Chains A and B, each alone.
Chain A
């Protein structure tokens, strides 16, 4: 089966600019996640969708970050305006459902550098 697709793989922007990342999960996976992985740290959950509804966005900095999954399939994560501390790899993952035992499959990630 095709994996989780993400684009772009790399993005360099200046602070206060905006950026958007796109994710297409594995076909049939109802649950989609966005994680932020800062260099040297473990991934941190930003937002979790179940179909097109938000399950958890408690760690999403909502003053600058937004995400949507309008048709319950692919998703977009936006940062506006970007700050230096947003430099990280943004990982998208999907799973069949939000059951605890279900495995998350990750995409290759989108590496953001904010100058």
Chain B
């Protein structure tokens, strides 16, 4: 079945550092790919998405490119802020009428 693997956390960075959170997936067909974020005490929020190969999703300075050849959807940001501290989940949705399949989440901690 479908699965998502993302890097283990916590990831601790200093403010203004460059961020990469790796995500790879296994799926049949052509899934849509998502990054969701969960801020402390809040629910899951969509951060960005990409629905086909080579698409780049972007939002709030975060970017991720759908790479079919490497089955990856790595999340990047050029300069992180303390307010980016949260848990980030990579997820995919299969081409059929499926729900989302999530990775285990990566806890990001940004220190001032």
Expressed in whole angstroms, the minimum distance between the Cβ of A40 and any Cβ of chain B is: 7
Expressed in whole angstroms, the minimum distance between the Cβ of B30 and any Cβ of chain A is: 8
Given contact pairs A45-B99, A56-B99, A101 touches B51 in the complex (Cβ within 8 A): yes
Say if the beta carbon of B40 comes within 8 Å of chain A: no
Say if the beta carbon of B56 comes within 8 Å of chain A: no
Residues of A within 8 A of B (CB-CB), count: 25
Q: Which of A41, A93, A100 contacts B95 (CB 8 A)?
A: A100
- Expressed in whole angstroms, the Cα–Cα distance for A93 and B34 within the complex equals 15
Expressed in whole angstroms, the minimum distance between the Cβ of B54 and any Cβ of chain A is: 15
CB pair B46–A41 under 8 Å, yes or no, is: no
Say if the beta carbon of A72 comes within 8 Å of chain B: no
Given contact pairs A41-B105, A56-B99, A103 touches B49 in the complex (Cβ within 8 A): yes
Say if the beta carbon of A108 comes within 8 Å of chain B: yes
Which residues, 33 to 58 on A, are CB-close (under 8 Å) to B?
Answer: 33, 35, 40-45, 48, 50, 55-56
CB pair A91–B98 under 8 Å, yes or no, is: no
B residues near A (Cβ < 8 Å) are 4, 31-32, 34, 36, 42-46, 49, 51, 89, 91, 93-105
